[in-house]
């Protein structure tokens, strides 16, 4: 007997009632939103979203890291009690597919983050709302479900940073995700070549009331980077200060080095997000997936670890879970689906990813997320390595 998976464009009765619009018939898997988004977004905006920084070396590394692993099919295991529920740092989630903080979502849809928040709510996905959102964090909180976290960028003045944290607390966000890997971002050559500039009506509204910091004048021997931009970059002291200011759990996003992971763990953060910002920060940084096993080994089996950068399918999610992540964050696919079909598109994309993950779990004989471990994967062998891995005996 063979069961065929049909790609369904229906979500669920309750979701379909609240999210209106249409899913184009070309969408058969979550990644299809990527190619279709080209038709729905202005070309410079698409290039801005799709590109990384510099020459996209890390964007490419993120994608190829997943293709270096294959998943073992396992036979005759009963998975009929299977589910995707995960418990992370004491919180239970219906599935491990979270929405990454993605700034300026009005580039993809006029209602921007409000649509993504509604989709996340409908699909029981944890939403991480960006400091640089184009809708107010309070409005996003109203549209989002109970599982919502706030992503914080340190501001040049502690008072402004604290203002964001207090607003997030008041709006009912249940964790603060501090992004530390993007104090400065190299320009995206891809976006530059496409002539991208941020539209004047797409602004970081959460920061609107913050006074513009005074311009510093640099001496002739001073660097625009070190003494200029990086003067406002947070340090370990700032992180300690922040943790003393909030009772919310503090997660750190942008961790790639096992030693940083250990130092952060020792300082009492709630968990870490292994990420290279989707290749948008340091071009030439390793793929997040490549660093995941070393970071899991460094922090131990029980410490909460999430991963993002390069996830485009349910099998990518399976591989991240197998290599030590407790859940994953979806970045660009969120923007692509938003541009194609608003909240309905984002909800559909989450549904597809979840089902793609469930198919992998079923065929790999892993009925629950804790059943997925590195034994489920094998490094892909190239044709010239094949004889070394599987010696021919006759
Ligand atoms: C257009 C865009 C805007 C982003 N804005 C933020 C942000 O405001 N804060 C943040 O921590 N990460 C931001 N990120 C990074 C994402 O949170 C995430 O790390 C990354 O997109 C994951 O890689 P993926 O796009 O391959 O899934 C942004 C990414 C994109 C593509």
Which pLDDT value is given to residue 389?
65
Q: How confident is the model at residue 382 (pLDDT cuts 50, 70, 90)?
A: confident
Please say if the pLDDT value at position 394 is more than 60: no
Domains of the chain, residue spans: 24-207+235-385
Enter the tokens of residue 146: 């109970």
Q: Is 50 in the pocket of ligand 1 (CB under 6 A)?
A: no
Which pLDDT value is given to residue 13?
45
CA distance 73 to 189: 41
CA distance 310 to 307: 10
Which pLDDT value is given to residue 10?
61
Please say if the pLDDT value at position 388 is more than 70: no
Q: Are 134 and 112 in contact (CB under 8 A)?
A: yes
- Minimum-distance ligand 1 atom for the alpha carbon of 275: 19
Average pLDDT, the chain: 94
**Across residues 166-178, what is the average pLDDT?**
98
Q: Using CA positions, which residue lies closest to atom 28 of ligand 1? A: 102
Residues in the chain: 394
- Minimum-distance ligand 1 atom for the alpha carbon of 48: 1
To the nearest whole percent, how much of the chain has pLDDT over 70?
Answer: 93
- Residue 273's nearest CA partner among 209, 331, 206 is 331
CA distance 359 to 352: 10
pLDDT digits (tens, 9 = 90+) for 250-274: 999 999 999 999 999 999 999 999 9
Q: Using CA positions, which residue lies closest to atom 11 of ligand 1? A: 179
Which pLDDT value is given to residue 8?
55
CA distance 138 to 34: 29
Enter the tokens of residue 302: 């029980």
Which pLDDT value is given to residue 391?
63
Which pLDDT value is given to residue 215?
80
Q: Is 309 in the pocket of ligand 1 (CB under 6 A)?
A: yes
Q: Mark 217-249 as b/e (b = at least 16 C-beta within 10 Å).
A: eeeeeeeeeeeeeeeeebeeebbeebbebbebb
Q: Are 326 and 108 in contact (CB under 8 A)?
A: no
**Of residues 95, 121, 277, 348, which has the active-site annotation?**
277
Q: Is 345 in the pocket of ligand 1 (CB under 6 A)?
A: no
Please say if the pLDDT value at position 286 is more than 60: yes
CA 265 to centroid of ligand 1, rounded, Å: 23
How far from the centroid of its chain's Cα atoms is residue 228's Cα? 29
Enter the tokens of residue 121: 């709510």
Q: Using CA positions, which residue lies closest to atom 30 of ligand 1? A: 102
Please say if the pLDDT value at position 153 is more than 50: yes
Q: Is 49 in the pocket of ligand 1 (CB under 6 A)?
A: yes
pLDDT digits (tens, 9 = 90+) for 85-116: 999 999 999 999 999 999 999 999 999 999 99
Q: At what angle do helices 288-299 and 57-67 cross, to 10 degrees?
A: 70
Q: Using CA positions, which residue lies closest to atom 27 of ligand 1? A: 331
Counting ligand 1 atoms within 8 A of each CB, the residue from 331, 338, 346 with the most, and so the one to mutate, is 331
pLDDT digits (tens, 9 = 90+) for 179-214: 999 999 888 999 999 999 999 999 999 999 998 878
pLDDT digits (tens, 9 = 90+) for 352-377: 999 999 999 999 999 999 999 999 99
To the nearest whole percent, how much of the chain has pLDDT over 90?
Answer: 88
Query: Strand, helix or coil at 277?
Result: helix
Task: Among 11-15, 99-103, 284-288, 296-300, name the one with the lowest average pLDDT.
Answer: 11-15
Q: Using CA positions, which residue lies closest to atom 4 of ligand 1? A: 102
Q: How confident is the model at residue 16 (pLDDT cuts 50, 70, 90)?
A: very low
Q: Who's near 122: CB < 8 A, 6+ residues apart?
A: 11, 14, 15, 18, 19, 145, 343, 347
CA distance 163 to 338: 29
Q: Are 262 and 43 in contact (CB under 8 A)?
A: no
Q: Are 380 and 315 in contact (CB under 8 A)?
A: no
Which pLDDT value is given to residue 186?
83
What CATH architecture applies to the domain 24-207+235-385?
Alpha-Beta Barrel (3.20)
The pTM score is: 0.95
Which pLDDT value is given to residue 392?
61
Which pLDDT value is given to residue 21?
75
CA 236 to centroid of ligand 1, rounded, Å: 23
CA 100 to centroid of ligand 1, rounded, Å: 6
DSSP letter string over 182-208?
A: -SS---BHHHHHTT----TT---GGGT
Strands (E), the chain: 69-71, 86-88, 91-93, 97-99, 127-129, 148-152, 176-179, 250-255, 271-274, 305-307, 327-330, 377-379
- Minimum-distance ligand 1 atom for the alpha carbon of 107: 1
Query: Strand, helix or coil at 99?
Result: strand
Known catalytic membership, residue 109: no
DSSP letter string over 206-268?
A: GGTTSPPPPPPPPPTT--IIIIIGGGG---HHHHHHHHHH--S-EEEEEE--HHHHHHHHHTT
CA distance 205 to 192: 24
CA 283 to centroid of ligand 1, rounded, Å: 14
Which pLDDT value is given to residue 368?
98
Q: Backbone phi, then psi, for 174, in 5-degree steps?
A: -105, 0
Greater confidence (16 vs 104) lies with: 104
CA 275 to centroid of ligand 1, rounded, Å: 9
94: left (phi over 0), alpha (psi -120 to 50) or beta: alpha
What DSSP character marks residue 304?
A: -
pLDDT digits (tens, 9 = 90+) for 45-81: 999 999 999 999 999 999 999 999 999 999 999 999 9
Counting ligand 1 atoms within 8 A of each CB, the residue from 101, 149, 185 with the most, and so the one to mutate, is 101
**Across residues 11-18, what is the average pLDDT?**
54
**HSE-up (13 A, CA, CB side) for residue 93:** 24
Please say if the pLDDT value at position 303 is more than 80: yes
């Amino acid at each position: 007997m063979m069961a065929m998976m049909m790609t369904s464009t229906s979500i669920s009765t309750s979701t379909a009632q609240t999210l209106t619009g249409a899913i184009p018939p070309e969408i058969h898997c979550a990644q299809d939103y990527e190619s279709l988004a080209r038709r729905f977004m202005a070309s410079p905006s698409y290039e801005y979203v799709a590109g990384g920084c510099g020459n996209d070396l890390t964007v490419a590394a993120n994608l190829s890291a997943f293709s270096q692993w294959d998943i073992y099919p396992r036979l005759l295991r009963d998975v009929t009690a299977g589910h995707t529920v995960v418990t992370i740092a004491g919180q239970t989630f219906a599935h491990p597919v979270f929405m990454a903080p993605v700034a300026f979502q009005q580039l993809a849809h006029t209602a921007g983050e409000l649509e993504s928040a509604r989709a996340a709510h409908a699909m029981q996905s944890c939403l991480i709302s960006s400091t640089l959102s184009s809708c107010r964090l309070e409005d996003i909180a109203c549209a989002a479900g109970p599982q919502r976290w706030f992503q914080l960028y340190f501001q040049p003045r502690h008072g402004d940073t604290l203002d964001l944290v207090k607003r997030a607390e008041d709006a009912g966000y249940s964790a603060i995700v501090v992004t530390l890997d993007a104090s400065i971002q190299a320009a995206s050559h891809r976006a530059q070549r496409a002539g991208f500039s941020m539209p004047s009506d797409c602004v970081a509204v959460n920061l609107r009331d913050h006074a513009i910091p005074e311009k510093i004048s640099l001496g002739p021997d001073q660097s625009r980077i070190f003494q200029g931009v990086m003067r406002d970059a947070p340090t370990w002291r700032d992180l300690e200060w922040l943790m003393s200011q909030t009772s919310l759990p503090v997660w750190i996003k942008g961790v790639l080095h096992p030693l940083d992971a250990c130092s952060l763990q020792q300082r009492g953060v709630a968990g870490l997000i292994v990420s290279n910002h989707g290749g948008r920060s340091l071009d030439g940084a390793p793929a997040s997936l490549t660093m995941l096993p070393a970071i899991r080994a460094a922090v131990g089996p029980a410490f909460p670890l999430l991963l993002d950068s390069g996830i485009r399918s349910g099998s990518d999610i399976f591989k991240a879970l197998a290599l030590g992540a407790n859940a994953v964050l979806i970045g660009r696919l969120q923007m692509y689906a938003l541009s194609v079909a608003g909240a309905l598109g984002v909800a559909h994309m989450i549904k597809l990813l979840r089902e793609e993950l469930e198919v992998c779990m079923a065929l790999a004989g892993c009925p629950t997320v804790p059943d997925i471990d590195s034994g489920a994967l094998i490094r892909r062998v190239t044709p010239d390595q094949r004889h070394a891995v599987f010696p021919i005996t006759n």
